[in-house]
Structure 1
């Protein structure tokens, strides 16, 4: 394997025999080789490649693309990255090697999409056709609000895809409170109204319960003859309840089911699954998504949803096998959430508690978010607020005017979590002390204040999600981002200045890098871990070019591997690329 320079290249000190400084490679220090040994080894390796008969004319990128995108050849790039004459050589080599990586990744993602959409049986040829929209329109009529132009546009894109015969594979993203769930539920009603079944899979029971409550409210408001039967299935369901849901899905009497991972157990069978909606899809792997999709023949449509807006550069690398839809406007009347970032001192905390007491007295409700469930014995985590301890402290001290406080975290039973949310929603406990289990999907319109303790421990996009738990009703709302570190205030100012999730997502990407943004370190077999020469988001323009080039190649060569250039096909089979069956 080739060792590429770590910091690309650096100016070396001028040698006495050289009139001007030259560029030298800087190589990993983890090898036993000394810096002065590298040049001779690199030269020998480059000559071996140049003289190799097997590599004569080798180039993964077809000549039609090197000409079109003004790229240097593979061997020239290899020599230029290791032995550049000047910075122009470095840039040309970097651009060529980065383009190759991005091209292969985009090709593989587009191929995966096409293969997934290719009919595998006579039933697939007929496809899953969703064309009867009467039930969906009945649901739209009783929503209680008009869809925004962005929601209308995205729903149209989804309905167009679901007309079949090829299965839809679409990623729906939008800002906090933009109405993704309403669009998804209308799509599920369209599937049920066309004689198919719909499934909505959420990563947590709390979120599944919230979705079920909203779906039941919608269905109960619809005309009796147009109501689908709905059900919920989670891991905590009693045996009798689970068997009843299994039976109703197998005989087709349940039209829409909401659930967690329980929906992909082997024992569960659908009579006619037509649409699978996967909420917070980043919490599920490709294989889990495929397991739900394979619950039916013909293949059902798939609508994946993400709670946090994803910058386009990441959407194309992490989700490039899916069509993209974005709800990029908020419903009218949504008030911006006044956001304060505070250095946590006794004075600022007392001021904040006074403001919260005043809001509670006026009928508002407050979330208090802690990073931990209980106090940690770790030195590193010493002093970090924990939900259980904070709950005891606030109840005992009465600093919130004696308001009753609820507690919610992931270790609680499903029944206790549901009860805590119900008590908060009803006002029985106007303060809810919680971990980030409320980050997505929890909708209490009366909630008007949220405090995030140790906000420096959260990403900007996650803080924006948490802030989105308030400002969902008519009350003016406030978010307090508390941190014991003054140095953290600068990054938190992004949230005090902006309410736009897409803007905040870009800032988060710049700060944390693509691996952390998507919640995974770059070590797995995913698109991001594969990239070495390409850097995101800096190479966004090159990514767009590679995406267009990949589409051209797919159009040119089709899905039959035997027709592809051998160097390109060999590179596509590289095991370091994301998994894909490209057997001839």
Structure 2
């Protein structure tokens, strides 16, 4: 038997649909990303409907491609005198509302087939694009299937008329029932041997799960609701198990790799730093520091995620880990996503270290090292000096952006890699930096965005997780208020409050979504800083990293709704997300807002600066220095200040177009104020109608400053979409049924089972089916995304 027959069991799932179904049938399926037998079998029904349960036909959105279940009420056929030919009009109903079906033909006889099939009283599924004709919603030339009629014989018709009807994500070219027929054509002849099960038999037995062949039959060809629920639950568990198995495998491989132990050295830099700290570490900082100390002293690489509340002191914890490595004759590299953040890190580290960061300089402590900065925009002489400091080992700590990844950057002995805001880096970038070490360096991944536990288990399951939830003493907190953008009195008071904060010695950020205003758009509503009109600009929605990818509805609710509209057309809700909504107003821009604020009487005499990503690095540094000193106390900025920027005297923040940001991003922005003894104020200026998702986000943010609570609410509000990456190539989402916001218990069980299986067989040699499933899961961007952990 050839080797690949062992490594790749069940090759029939890789058969091209064109071969199985024929080119003509397979072509439109390929446009849905369904190219193989396996693709089609994993294209699960979006929901199920019961025969006799009709779709609510209220407010069908014009232009949407829909599938509705309704009863035929009447049918008429007539000649068209004005244009020639004939027209058939059928009226279908949900029992209250009606929808018109219209068919045209050159001759009346052509319409006879529809007239004979669309008999009043029959129930069917009707699919097409909604249009409007004289105030009546209609489908023109819809495709349809009649329940209990379109079957091979009377017995089959009776069966079909009594079983749940699967509704698939479909398209105009391939209606849901055609997908169902294709699935049956593919699935029926397959055996258990053709569908190797990635869940080991002992795990299935312990968890009471059916086999893969049976589960696929359950979801695609159910006779009862209990049957499709059983199949769905098994397939949902499978998704969790396969992912957790890969995370467990990576974790085990990392634990088995050699690394240079970096134990704490008595009387070294770390002891000197601790002795000089002007504040007391929180209990959380001490506990996490102890965890890192133990893992850095081990001869296998540390792999840890450090997450914390905004302002919880992650930088101090990371610095203490760096100093332990430097004491052990190693170096630490901190990779930051932006030049602003990298420069801020360097300023913070040097300020915390004092003369301990002046190694080799006059006045430097005998134990001192250097903190070097490497960015792409540095001048040649400065860059050359910092490169030499890194290569020679004089700089024990090297901070940089993507410039750290350059071939010209070398280290004397890289012992610790810290990746800040890890979700902004890909696996190649991180591994390029780690490859600069002689042996695998220790890894600390930091995120300023609190991560719900279920997400951490799903995406970062191969990392140990440390959490900082305490806020250091001496911080007064932040009050958050939502300001209606169309309330001129409140908006005017917003700028008056900014002035009051400045007059008390504070600083104020004004955050805008964009840098430049676009040209005036005809008919666009434009609002100035005073709330009375001026220019803003069009722009993309600024929801969180996976928020924009969230599905329009939850296709996997525990109970399929019989009152909700059916879903068709690649998962687009029948009513549409923004159906009938007015066009969104253009977004505010830094450059125009700064000009408007300079003209406001409320801010007369106050210097106003600007900061954004297109500015040169030295210009950004100058602006931040002027803001920090108070010479320019109001800074109009993009979200470039979202993380890392630490100005103790910043007490006020105004976020314009706050309704266009996600909860986590707003929470990070809010964390830039109230970092000193004076209390902070965050004013969220927004157009958010009552009852809208944006209003819910803002109300939640105003109600609490607990980042972990906000992260959990955020996940619930936006239904996370595909946690393995929003942009997938060549197919459907990697997680089709699993929802981390809802399925924490499933993930927990799968995680425990996967660790046991991988612990006994790290290479999964006894489980080729599981290895094959992992290979299918981790393709393209999915593998890159999971590697970012």
Q: TM-score, normalised by structure 2?
A: 0.69
CA–CA separation in structure 2 for the residues paired with 1:489 and 1:466: 18
- Equivalent residues in 2 for 1:263-282 (5 A)? 263-282=404-423
SS at 1:399 equivalent: helix
Match of 1:556 among 757, 760, 777: 760
Deviating more after overlay: 394-403 vs 265-274 = 394-403
Match of 2:701 among 495, 510, 521: 495
Deviation at 1:337, TM superposition (A): 0.8
SS at 1:71 equivalent: coil
The answer to whether the aligner puts 1:571 opposite 2:777 as a matched pair is: no
SS at 2:208 equivalent: coil
Report the equivalent of 1:321: 462
Contact in 2 for aligned 1:279/1:305 (Cα 8 Å): yes
SS at 1:151 equivalent: helix
Match of 1:214 among 332, 335, 348: 348
Normalized per residue, the structure richer in helix is: 1
Match of 1:78 among 189, 210, 216: 216
Deviating more after overlay: 299-308 vs 226-235 = 226-235
SS at 1:59 equivalent: coil
Cα distance 1:19–1:305, how it changes in 2: closer, same or farther (>3 A)? closer
Contact in 1 for aligned 2:346/2:373 (Cα 8 Å): yes
1:407-448: CA deviation from partner (whole Å, max 9, x where unpaired): 111111111111110001000011111111110011111111
- Equivalent residues in 2 for 1:59-78 (5 A)? 59-78=197-216
Match of 1:355 among 491, 494, 497: 497
1:29-72: CA deviation from partner (whole Å, max 9, x where unpaired): 2274455555554444332113x7545xx321111111222212
1:374-428: CA deviation from partner (whole Å, max 9, x where unpaired): 1023854454211111111111233224211111111111111111100010000
What RMSD in Å do the two structures reach over aligned CA positions?
2.5
Report the equivalent of 1:286: 427
SS at 2:423 equivalent: helix
Report the equivalent of 1:452: 655
SS at 1:255 equivalent: strand
Report the equivalent of 1:505: 711
SS at 1:66 equivalent: helix
1:253-309: CA deviation from partner (whole Å, max 9, x where unpaired): 221111111111112111100011111111111111111111112111010101111
Deviation at 1:182, TM superposition (A): 0.7
Deviation at 1:18, TM superposition (A): 6.3
Cα distance 1:517–1:336, how it changes in 2: closer, same or farther (>3 A)? farther
Deviation at 1:150, TM superposition (A): 1.1
Report the equivalent of 2:278: 144
Deviating more after overlay: 108-117 vs 146-155 = 108-117
Report the equivalent of 1:130: 263
Q: Which runs of 5+ in 1 are unaligned?
A: none
Deviating more after overlay: 332-341 vs 14-23 = 14-23
Aligned residues: 569
- Equivalent residues in 2 for 1:39-58 (5 A)? 40-50=181-191, 54-55=194-195, 58=196
Report the equivalent of 2:449: 308
Report the equivalent of 1:236: 377
Cα distance 1:118–1:377, how it changes in 2: closer, same or farther (>3 A)? farther
Cα distance 1:576–1:213, how it changes in 2: closer, same or farther (>3 A)? closer
Q: Which runs of 5+ in 2 are unaligned?
A: 1-37, 54-146, 149-157, 357-363, 522-537, 540-584
CA–CA separation in structure 2 for the residues paired with 1:522 and 1:378: 32
CA–CA separation in structure 2 for the residues paired with 1:218 and 1:38: 63
Report the equivalent of 1:433: 636
1:311-331: CA deviation from partner (whole Å, max 9, x where unpaired): 122222222222111112211
CA–CA separation in structure 1 for the residues paired with 2:181 and 2:719: 35
Match of 1:88 among 216, 226, 243: 226
Normalized per residue, the structure richer in strand is: 2
Match of 2:52 among 13, 17, 36: 13
CA–CA separation in structure 1 for the residues paired with 2:403 and 2:647: 26
SS at 1:463 equivalent: helix
Contact in 2 for aligned 1:142/1:221 (Cα 8 Å): no
Report the equivalent of 1:377: 519
SS at 1:349 equivalent: helix
The answer to whether the aligner puts 1:248 opposite 2:389 as a matched pair is: yes
Q: TM-score, normalised by structure 1?
A: 0.92
Deviation at 1:77, TM superposition (A): 0.6
Cα distance 1:332–1:203, how it changes in 2: closer, same or farther (>3 A)? same
CA–CA separation in structure 2 for the residues paired with 1:40 and 1:376: 50
Report the equivalent of 2:165: 24
SS at 2:189 equivalent: helix
